[in-house]
Amino acid sequence: MDELVLKLGVEFKASKDEGLDTPTWSIEFLGHWLTTEEGVMAYPAPSKVEKLTNTLAESARLPYMPYKALEELVGKLAFAGQTHRLLKVYLSFIYDVLIAHRPGDYP
């Protein structure tokens, strides 16, 4: 298949070719880690978890957080929460804070 793709002149990343020629037990797909080894359907890929952990640590050191930065952080947490039901519950409280303190809503 790789030969056909190359003949057609299509460029692709070799890292995206994982699992086509040889079977694999786990693979990263659209930021989620899919694995059959542990019986887990999907959870955020280790690279995403590391980035999110670093972002949370940096945010915790700030004396305050700009509204836009908080929105971005909540978006990343929501992405991670797609596979974790309890995270969605905790995020609902942050959504309430975002809605209550939306810029431009002050007199």
The model's pTM is 0.55
d(CA 22, CA 32): 20
Are 57 and 49 a contacting pair, CB within 8 Å? no
Per-residue model confidence as pLDDT tens digits over 28-79: 767 677 777 766 666 677 777 788 888 888 888 888 888 888 888 888 888 7
In DSSP terms, which residues pair with 35 in a beta bridge? 26
